[in-house]
Structure 1
Amino acid sequence: MEKSRLLYVVLFHTVFASFGEIEANLLNYLTVPVRQFFADSLLQRYGIAPYSSQFEFVYSMVASIFFIGAIFGGAIMGPCMEHFGRRATAVYLRSFLGAFSAICMLLSKWLTIIELFAIGHFIAGVIAAWKIAMFIYLAECAPDHSRGWSTSLIGSGSTLALLLMASLCLPSVFGNDQLWWLLPAFALFLSIFHLCFAAHFPESPKHLFCGDRRNKTAENCHERAKLSIKFYHGSAADVFKVMNQFEQEQQLLTSREHFRWSDFWKIPELRHSLCITLLTSWVFAFSLTNLKSQYLESMLMRYGLTQTGAMVSTMAMIAVTAPFCFLSPVLIERWGRRPLFLLVTSFSVAELALITGAQFASDQTASGGNDATAALALIGFTLGQSSANLGILHMTPILIGELIPHAARSATIQVNLLFASPLFIFIVIAYPPLIGTWGALFFMPMALISAVLLFLLYRWMPETKGLSVNTIFRRMAKLGLLNSSSEGSTTSINGDGYDDEETEALILKN
């Protein structure tokens, strides 16, 4: 019963929280009709000629404002999660912003005002960054043995939403000048539906127990946490054991009410956990995932495909790798986090190596791409799409939910966004002016850095499947960063879902 209820909750968020993916990729998937809308608006309001240098500058600025929104959203997400709660940030605020973004895009179409589209695109960047809040929210709601598949399913749903969106963006469907507004209208429906009905789901029990006690009486928070545990874990759940885990996790860092940034330096195991999450953030930043979201079609044409061939190849890659979306929630529980995330990183490194080779071969020919470079690029991009479908986008949120105690999660998210966001923004912005002169040298440093990150993750990433946060944190303290991977699966779990050390602690306490 508890599994089915949790599954329904996760599926609901997977489907109706996908409005963010639609709004984030609107400019990329509807390039032709949206550019025409931009041309009409700029000519009508400012007299800027279509497809002039001024037009291209404005278009690139509107495209870049999405990333500014993502940085802004990442900067304020942590404080919002702490002050308003996990549910309020992931559901109320994110869904409200999703509806506001969609309304701005709709009004921009109907009123032919490009500024409204830019505002909506900026908010879409905030929404994209706040998807991490949804991962953290569900990770704190799910029991330890269900934490992996529940968060992984949300990430897989995002990829499937993009697959559906790609089919709807065909010119014969909604991808034309007359009907493209139906996609933001669909996103508006999803966001309002998500806001209205997800409000009935309880707040994260861990946040009620560990976080809300600063603002409410402990007794009230304990009662609400008990109800939330029974909702997400099932009526037969041992509430005392779950709350005992929360209490142990709360005492991991400090006896003080508030977490301090200096704790990252003072507490070695917290510093080690932060380093591992930073490695996975950099894996995503140096991958081609963000670059392909803006330039995949043009990259395929650079390597020898026609425009039609590039579109068909893109749809074929998405279709061929789609089964990985369904396999990811299964593999993360069957294999564990460490093997799956190492495989994901390996696919990303292989993609970068193959694209570097394709670009190098293209640089050697006067005509640019040919059949060989196109085939090499297609193999590489297919591996990269496999990496995305298996979880390169949600590696970091999952590990933050498992390696970092509750009090430090918001700060950890901010640190990861601070060190990763400028990297992928620079890569996306630098690609158009540099690829023509640098050629393969543009991709080579990314491939080498990603290979180093893969080696470091192989050395340092622990296995966290089915373990509570306090167990994982205690293991990091015992083993240290350099030895965590070699003994990553030595802790046994008994039938109650606790490892032997936790059981002994409970016996001694009672």
Structure 2
Amino acid sequence: MDIFGRKFVAVYFRSGIGFLAVIFLLFGKLFLSIESFAIGTILFGALWPIKSGVTKYYISECSPDKIRGFFTQGLVSITGLLHIGAGFLLLPQFLGNDKYWHYTLYIAIGIIGIFISAAVFIPESPKFLWFQGKKFDAIKAVKAFHGKNVDIESITHGYDLERSIIHTKSNHINLSQIWKDNGLRNSLILLFAAALVSTLGPLQIYFLYSIVLKIKYGFTNSQAVTFELILNLVFLPLGPFLVFATIYQ
């Protein structure tokens, strides 16, 4: 990410891994190969840190300060809506069965093509370009993401301040350097605590057992999944607005 760029990893590398995963899964279906299916599943799993980490990082670096949280949370909501749509498609009466499940792979190939085609017109992260010394390209990217009338000097000054914290020839900082800096260390502790809450808290238990509990209390599997999808569909779009309203209250 610090060598090839945020966009390369978030768009092209991610799409390449996704395409390979689809091909291996498709081969597993067509040739009844468990080995090919296993490789495809592993590759799909490898996409998760890129999707949840690098893509958010890229969007947050490109977004204006005042709406950065809204854009980042908006990505989460859009991803959730896509998952909901996919959940409907994967119900047993549609594509979620032994006969038709592989058609989802063709849909995935189409989505990858649309994703790459749309991303061609989106610039690289202006912060990355500035750190690489490509100042003219960085200023063009800032105008593309922030608007033509933005105060370029104030934004690039922020990049220089961040660069001064790193104090290295490379454009990243290691864990020991983070731990020595009081502000960065406290930020790291907060991030670690937030990650523990989401992993060990009641929300994770709900994700794991919500469908099971609904079935236990009388729902069929299809009814439980459909009910969960409808709830998510109704409340998920509110996420970015609630976060934005809470932060700037």
How does the TM-score come out when normalised to structure 1? Answer: 0.46
What is the DSSP-based 3-state SS (H/G/I as helix, E as strand, rest coil) of the residue aligned with 1:177? Answer: coil
Residue matched to 1:153? 74
1:129–1:176 Cα change, 3 Å: same
* Cα deviation, residue 317, structure 1: 3.0
Which whole-Å CA distance do the structure 2 matches of 1:116 and 1:287 have between them?
36
The residue correspondences of 1:90-489 to structure 2 (distance < 5 A) are: 90-131=10-51, 132-210=53-131, 212=132, 218=133, 221-251=134-164, 253-258=165-170, 259-287=173-201, 296-301=210-215, 303-306=216-219, 308=220, 310-336=221-247
What is the DSSP-based 3-state SS (H/G/I as helix, E as strand, rest coil) of the residue aligned with 1:202? Answer: coil
1:250–1:325 Cα change, 3 Å: same
Contact 2:139 2:152 in 1 (8 A): yes
Contact 2:27 2:36 in 1 (8 A): yes
* Cα deviation, residue 193, structure 1: 2.1
1:260–1:180 Cα change, 3 Å: closer
Which whole-Å CA distance do the structure 2 matches of 1:288 and 1:170 have between them?
27
* Cα deviation, residue 230, structure 1: 0.8
Which whole-Å CA distance do the structure 2 matches of 1:139 and 1:165 have between them?
26
Which of structures 1 and 2 has the larger relative contact order (alpha carbons within 8 angstroms, sep 6+)? 2
Which whole-Å CA distance do the structure 1 matches of 2:128 and 2:45 have between them?
26
Contact 1:99 1:192 in 2 (8 A): no
1:177–1:317 Cα change, 3 Å: closer
Which amino acid letter does the alignment assign opposite residue 137 of structure 2?
R
Residue matched to 1:406? none
Which amino acid letter does the alignment assign opposite residue 105 of structure 2?
P
Which amino acid letter does the alignment assign opposite residue 8 of structure 2?
A
1:288–1:109 Cα change, 3 Å: farther
Which whole-Å CA distance do the structure 1 matches of 2:149 and 2:60 have between them?
20
Which amino acid letter does the alignment assign opposite residue 181 of structure 2?
I
How does the TM-score come out when normalised to structure 2? Answer: 0.90
Contact 2:89 2:96 in 1 (8 A): yes
Which amino acid letter does the alignment assign opposite residue 57 of structure 2?
I
Which amino acid letter does the alignment assign opposite residue 218 of structure 2?
L
User: Any idea what the Cα deviations from partners look like across 1:243-293, whole Å, max 9, x if unmatched?
Assistant: 111111222x24332423211221111110000001111112114666666
Which amino acid letter does the alignment assign opposite residue 111 of structure 1?
F
Which whole-Å CA distance do the structure 1 matches of 2:202 and 2:23 have between them?
31
1:295–1:106 Cα change, 3 Å: farther
Which amino acid letter does the alignment assign opposite residue 227 of structure 1?
K
Which whole-Å CA distance do the structure 2 matches of 1:97 and 1:288 have between them?
33
Which whole-Å CA distance do the structure 1 matches of 2:244 and 2:37 have between them?
41
Contact 2:63 2:145 in 1 (8 A): yes
Which whole-Å CA distance do the structure 2 matches of 1:224 and 1:283 have between them?
40
Which whole-Å CA distance do the structure 1 matches of 2:43 and 2:207 have between them?
18
1:294–1:179 Cα change, 3 Å: farther
Segments of 5+ residues of structure 1 without an aligned counterpart are 1-80, 213-217, 337-464, 466-488, 490-510
Contact 1:105 1:116 in 2 (8 A): yes
Larger Rg: 1
Which whole-Å CA distance do the structure 2 matches of 1:102 and 1:256 have between them?
40
Which whole-Å CA distance do the structure 1 matches of 2:4 and 2:108 have between them?
24
Which whole-Å CA distance do the structure 2 matches of 1:183 and 1:296 have between them?
25
Q: CA RMSD in A?
A: 2.1
% same residue: 27
Which whole-Å CA distance do the structure 2 matches of 1:294 and 1:124 have between them?
20
What is the DSSP-based 3-state SS (H/G/I as helix, E as strand, rest coil) of the residue aligned with 2:236? Answer: helix
- Across the two proteins, how many residue pairs are aligned to each other? 246
Which whole-Å CA distance do the structure 2 matches of 1:199 and 1:133 have between them?
17
Which amino acid letter does the alignment assign opposite residue 167 of structure 2?
S
Contact 1:203 1:228 in 2 (8 A): yes
Which whole-Å CA distance do the structure 2 matches of 1:242 and 1:268 have between them?
24
Segments of 5+ residues of structure 2 without an aligned counterpart are none
Which amino acid letter does the alignment assign opposite residue 39 of structure 2?
I
Which whole-Å CA distance do the structure 2 matches of 1:93 and 1:288 have between them?
34
